[in-house]
Amino acid sequence: MKVLVSALAMAAACTALPALSQTTIEPEKPAPAVNARAPAASPSGSGGTWRLMASPYTIHYSHDPNHRPVWMLGFERERLDGMLWGACYFSNSFGQPSAMVYGGQRLYDFSPYPQFFAQWTAGIMYGYKGEYQDKVPFNHRGFSPGVVLALGWQFTPRYSLQANVLGNSALMFQFSIDLP
């Protein structure tokens, strides 16, 4: 009988203690999420950052004897919310001078590594002409839509490296410098 009374007393205590603790302590409200890597507000209050980009190397997924080395130079503006716009000048896979203007978004805080980011951009590309006009879809007189998906790593607050997926054709490696 002593064992039964002791067991009931323990069960009552175990159910009462959590109820008492809930009435005396209020839960803390979580702090608002702040992305430490998103562009900081400038002294003028405009916010965002300018970024210079360069790509010295691209890997093509398939071999074509007409492929030439691909390089790219560009700039973009990223707002405080991660939305961005930019332009780049590049030599396409067939050695033709080309350009693209685009908009998109850089995505942060989706992995346990704060330096890791993803980016998507979409815009209008110009440059695939003549015998190479059918190498990109929906090309009309050298103009065609372009979409680039990327994964990157922010090494320092100013320097990053990213890999850009160029459709089903190539993988471009890009260095970026965020300007103060």
Evaluate whether residue 146 is within a structural domain.
Answer: yes
* Cα dihedral: 65, 67, 69, 71 (round 10): 180
pLDDT at 38: 57
Evaluate whether residue 134 is within a structural domain.
Answer: yes
Whole-number Å distance between alpha carbons of 39 and 136: 34
Domain range for residue 157? 50-178
Evaluate whether residue 110 is within a structural domain.
Answer: yes
Tally of domains within the chain: 1
At position 85, the amino acid (one-letter code) is: W
pLDDT at 88: 98
Our CA angle for 53, 165, 64, nearest 5°, is 105
What CATH code is carried by the domain that includes residue 170? 2.40.160.20
Evaluate whether residue 41 is within a structural domain.
Answer: no
Evaluate whether residue 57 is within a structural domain.
Answer: yes
- Cβ-count burial 81-116 (b if 16+ within 10 Å, e if not): ebebebebebbbbbebebbbebebbbebbeeeeeeb
Q: Are 179 and 50 in contact (CB under 8 A)?
A: yes
pLDDT, tens only, 65-103: 999 999 999 999 999 999 999 999 999 999 999 999 999
Question: Sorting pLDDT into bands at 50, 70 and 90, what band is 161?
Answer: very high
pLDDT, tens only, 169-180: 999 999 999 998
Evaluate whether residue 118 is within a structural domain.
Answer: yes
Evaluate whether residue 10 is within a structural domain.
Answer: no
pLDDT, tens only, 41-65: 444 446 899 999 999 999 999 999 9
Residue 141 has pLDDT above 90, yes or no: yes
Evaluate whether residue 96 is within a structural domain.
Answer: yes
